[in-house]
Amino acid sequence: MGNTYKRVLLKLSGEALMGDLAYGIDPAMVDGIAQEISDVMQQGIEMAIVVGGGNLFRGIRGAAAGMDRATADYIGMLATIMNAMTLQEALERIGVPTRMQTAISMQEIAEPYIRRRAIRHLEKNRVVIFGGGSGNPFFTTDTTAALRAAEINAEVLFKATKVDGVYDSDPVTNPNAKLYRSLTYSHVLAEDLKVMDGTAIALCKDNNIPIMVFNLSVSGNIRRAVMGESIGTIVGESCEIR
């Protein structure tokens, strides 16, 4: 099978880096993700990554516990930067050229986010990791992923999760939940399906960026998704609902 995509954006949740741990970062899990990304890069595919921070700190939970929402969200952004640094180190340890850019200026450890520089890194076959969310409170890293995908002209946004795709209800609590293979943006928004937040879906819809949701815990799924195999759920403008 030939490459389906040339430039992609991968959204990794912070929870994906926990592995089987209850909190924090599982080095073995990070190393496994790094190896899969390396396999993709060897196919000549340009990849950017947005990392969440929920394994370390989630702003909305801090706000629910009484913290100022903006302050809590900024702490969550710092958590994403810690995860981004961890992934960068794992990639570089196996020889994958990597650049990290942050929406919050941290010149000692990363470049500031500059769109043209990010695109140039991709053209030079470097993985670009975006940390710090969008740099603004009240926005999720899902929205950041959609925003960065649009800015760098990514052909598709991959969301790697702990489930096989998008269901009509929570598969953890409902064993009869239906797995969708394809959906339209409008259906996701109308039914409030928990793919990504509404702002992220709307951004992808406005810029015609398809979203593929798949299970990260299945070994090799990142490569399968990028190479165009039919796994998980695809969300797009002209997708049939099935």
Is 14 annotated among the ligand-binding residues? yes
Is 139 annotated among the ligand-binding residues? yes
Is 140 annotated among the ligand-binding residues? yes
Is 206 annotated among the ligand-binding residues? no
Is 138 annotated among the ligand-binding residues? yes
Element (H, E) at 165: none
Is 53 annotated among the ligand-binding residues? yes
Is residue 214 classed as helix, strand or coil in its secondary structure?
Answer: strand
Is 141 annotated among the ligand-binding residues? yes
Is 11 annotated among the ligand-binding residues? yes
CB 87 within 8 A of CB 30: yes
Is 54 annotated among the ligand-binding residues? yes
Phi and psi at residue 116, to the nearest 5°? -65, -35
CB 158 within 8 A of CB 222: yes
Residue that has been written with the tokens 């490459």 in this structure = 3
CB 26 within 8 A of CB 19: yes
Distances (CA, A) of 23 to 18, 19, 26, 57, 128: 6, 9, 9, 10, 25
Which DSSP string do the residues of 121-164 spell out, in sequence order? HHHTT-EEEEESTTSSTT--HHHHHHHHHHHTT-SEEEEEESSS
Residues 6+ positions from 21 with CB-CB distance below 8 Å: none
Angle at 191 between CA 189 and CA 194, to 5 degrees: 75
Is 233 annotated among the ligand-binding residues? no
Is 232 annotated among the ligand-binding residues? no
Which DSSP string do the residues of 71-115 spell out, in sequence order? HHHHHHHHHHHHHHHHHHHHHHHTT--EEEEESS--TTTSEEP-H
Feature table: binding site: 11-14, 53-54, 58, 73, 134-141, 161, 167, 170
Feature table: binding site for UMP: 53, 73, 134-141
Feature table: binding site for ATP: 11-14, 54, 58, 161, 167, 170
